[in-house]
Amino acid sequence: MKLIKNIPLIILVIPFLLNLSGCKKDEDPFKDGLEPNNSRSEAFELTLGEQIDASIAKGDHDWFSFSVETNGIIYIAGIAIENLADEMELTVVLYDSQGNQFGSFTGNAGINMNINLSTRTGSYYIEIYDKNSDHEGKYKLTITLLQANDPNEPDDTFADARIVSSYPSGVITGTILINASDDNQNGDFEFFVLLVNSNKKVSFTLTPDADDIKMNYTIFKEDHSVVVAETEGTVGQILQASVGSGSGGSLTRYLRVGATLGDTGNGDYTISFTETDI
């Protein structure tokens, strides 16, 4: 009879123990499976195009890394942070491969954040934390390479310059993703090779798409020495110039096109080439 009386007690105790175990499991819902990623040396490596689920605990800092392999071409990496808790105000800090900070963004509480980052081949780091360090919540993070380049790439060096050998060239479209000029040597330049025949001159017309962009050009000899120093237009200005060859024979000239972008970030332009007698 004692065994029979104890059976209900055992049955009641088992669910109670299960409940205790469940409480312990949910004790820290904001410690995700990406931890430990609280420092640059522990950064969680992201795969481009794949969305991850992450979370921020109070006082927590999440670190991520990603790599861009694009043969030196400048690309736009889109950083999307979504599904933030309404009270969270996230700060996102960007670092280069050496750990040098080059950008910082803070989103309003609960807002989805979309950050466009101009990248070359290399590694990058992202640090994410709540601005006030006293809120916690979950978020989703995705990094993708946006299709922002023109079809002429790679063309941002002398070695990769696009050859213009016949005239009229027709209209060539291009896109400059980040500021490129004598003062911004690591910008997104566009190079063209002009083959100029004897007793001919080649003229070009450079037209910006946006009203707030300032285009510039520089003309070089075949040995890369400067023939025409950098010439910059005013915002929205169409630029025109020409290079000629006398009776001494044909010659080669390099044309370097750059720009300073305005608030719209629109770096689209068109260029066309024609040939006439000198």
pLDDT of the residue at 22: 37
Confidence of residue 31 (pLDDT cuts 50, 70, 90): low
Higher-confidence residue of 254 and 245: namely 254
Q: Which of 250, 255, 253 is nearest to 271 (CA)?
A: 255
The pLDDT score that the predictor gives to residue 34 is: 78
What backbone phi and psi angles, to 5 degrees, belong to 47? Answer: -100, 125
Query: Does residue 114 have a pLDDT over 90?
Result: yes
Share of the chain above pLDDT 70, in %: 89
Contact of 134 with 53, CB cutoff 8 Å: no
Domains of the chain and CATH, by start: 40-146 (2.60.120.380), 162-277 (2.60.120.380)
Q: What integer pLDDT is reported at residue 19 of this predicted model?
A: 34
pLDDT single digits (tens) 169-188: 999 999 999 999 999 999 99
Query: Does residue 25 have a pLDDT over 50?
Result: no
Is the pLDDT at 155 greater than 80? The verdict is: yes
Query: Confidence class of residue 123 from pLDDT cuts 50, 70 and 90?
Result: very high
**pLDDT tens figures, 65-84:** 999 998 889 999 999 999 88
Q: How confident is the model at residue 85 (pLDDT cuts 50, 70, 90)?
A: confident
Model confidence pLDDT, tens digit, residues 203-246: 999 999 999 999 999 999 999 999 999 999 999 999 999 999 98
> pLDDT grade, residue 87 (50/70/90)?
confident
The amino acid at residue 187 is G
In terms of Cα–Cα distance, which of 132, 128, 146 is closest to 52? 128
In DSSP notation, the chain reads -HHHHHHHHHHHHHHHHHHHHHHHHTS-TT--TT-S-SSGGGPEEPPTT--EEEEE-TT-EEEEEEEE-STT--EEEEEEEE---TT--EEEEEE-TTS-EEEEEEPPTT--EEEEEEE-SEEEEEEEEETTS---EEEEEEEEEE--S-TT-S-SSSTTPEEE-SSS---EEEE--S-BBTTBTTS--EEEEEEE-TTEEEEEEEEESSTT-EEEEEEE-TTS-EEEEEEE--TT--EEEEEEE-TT--EEEEEEEEEE--TT---EEEEEEEEEE-
Reported confidence tier of residue 30, pLDDT bands at 50, 70, 90: low
- As a whole number, mean pLDDT of residues 253-278 equals 96
Is the model's pLDDT at 17 over the cut of 80? no
Q: How confident is the model at residue 15 (pLDDT cuts 50, 70, 90)?
A: very low
State yes or no: pLDDT of 21 exceeds 50.
no
Calpha distance 49→142 (Å, rounded): 6
Least confident of 27-31, 38-42, 195-199, 274-278: 27-31
